[in-house]
Amino acid sequence: MEIKVSGNDIERAIKLLKRELQKDGLLKELKKRSFYEKPSVKTRRKQREAQKRRIKTARLKRQNKTII
């Protein structure tokens, strides 16, 4: 990954770097690997995340039906 700094604008370069890291999922991966997560806890977390996605998808489908 490469971020070009133009005009010594370091703050903008840092913002771009953070955005790229977040887009690639590296920040989430670093947080996940910073400590050990038991398999049972990992399974529960994944189930909660899947449930959130299902609820969000259902909400968006309902919302789209009312628009049409």
Residue 38 backbone class (left: φ over 0; alpha: ψ -120 to 50; beta: rest): beta
**pLDDT class of 68 with cuts at 50, 70, 90:** low
Whole-model pTM: value is 0.56
Give the pLDDT of residue 27: 84
**pLDDT class of 67 with cuts at 50, 70, 90:** confident
SS3 for the chain is CCCCCCCCCHHHHHHHHHHHHHHHCHHHHHHHHCCCCCHHHHHHHHHHHHHHHHHHHHHHHHHHHHHC
**What residue ranges do the domains of the chain occupy?**
1-35, 36-68
pLDDT digits (tens, 9 = 90+) for 13-54: 899 988 988 888 888 888 888 999 999 999 999 999 999 999
